[in-house]
Structures are given as structure tokens and as C-alpha cells.
């Protein structure tokens, strides 16, 4: 069993739902931090969802406002992701938000 420290990052250049991170099928992951930075002169919102292996979608943050030129830490506690679960993010406005997740993957092999 190996512990792999990693991050996942995305520049939300569209308003389409975007995959931020997918847990490997042989691992579980602990999301320690989920930072969202708004580098625009106006506020924007972000929606964060978790899709499980059965394709059920769970809302983690629904239309969370991020003020202009600020960075928000969305998580106050670690988030556990099971095998093959997917974190997705959607921005209200294109080219304004950047998202970075800090993770620990626990590989079961």
C-alpha cells in the first residue's frame, strides 16, 4: 500500500461542468484542501459535485459565491473519496476561476 501526495488543478475557461479529479480504481483519496481563486474584477459562483461509482451525483457546494480577486478555501474538514469517484466543478463565468485540490491517494495495491 502506497501513499501518494498529489494535487489536481483546473482553470475554468468555460461554464461547462469540468472534471477536477477522479480517484483511481485501486485507491481511496483524502481531499485536504479545495481552493478556488477568482482573478477577475467581478464575483463569480462555483458549483462542486461528487459523482460516485454508480453515477449518482451529490452536491457539495451549490452556486457558492467567490468575490472578485479573492481566494476561498471551500473545505473545513477533509473529504474522503472512494474508488472511481469524481469531483466536478462548474463556474458561472468563463475565464475567472481557478481550482486546486490537495490530495492524498491511498493505493491498495
Give me the CATH number covering residue 86: 2.60.120.340
Q: How confident is the model at residue 1 (pLDDT cuts 50, 70, 90)?
A: confident
User: Residue range 82-86: average pLDDT?
Assistant: 97
Number of domains the chain is built from? 1
Report the pLDDT value the prediction gives residue 65, as an integer from 0 to 100.
98
| pTM for this predicted structure | 0.94
**Largest Cα span, the chain:** 46
Q: pLDDT, tens digit, for every residue of 4-63?
A: 999 999 999 999 999 999 999 999 999 999 999 999 999 999 999 999 999 999 999 999
Parent domain of 83: 2-107
Amino acid at each position: 500500500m502506497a501513499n501518494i501526495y498529489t494535487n489536481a488543478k483546473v482553470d475554468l475557461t468555460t461554464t461547462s461542468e469540468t472534471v477536477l479529479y477522479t480517484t483511481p480504481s485501486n485507491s481511496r483519496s483524502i481531499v485536504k484542501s479545495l481552493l478556488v481563486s477568482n482573478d477577475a474584477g467581478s464575483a463569480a459562483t462555483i458549483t462542486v459535485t461528487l459523482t460516485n461509482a454508480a453515477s449518482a451525483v451529490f452536491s457539495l457546494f451549490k452556486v457558492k459565491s467567490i468575490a472578485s480577486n479573492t481566494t476561498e478555501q471551500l473545505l473545513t474538514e477533509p473529504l474522503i473519496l472512494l474508488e472511481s469517484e469524481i469531483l466536478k466543478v462548474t463556474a458561472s463565468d468563463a475565464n475567472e476561476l481557478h481550482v486546486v485540490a490537495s490530495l492524498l491517494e491511498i493505493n491498495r495495491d
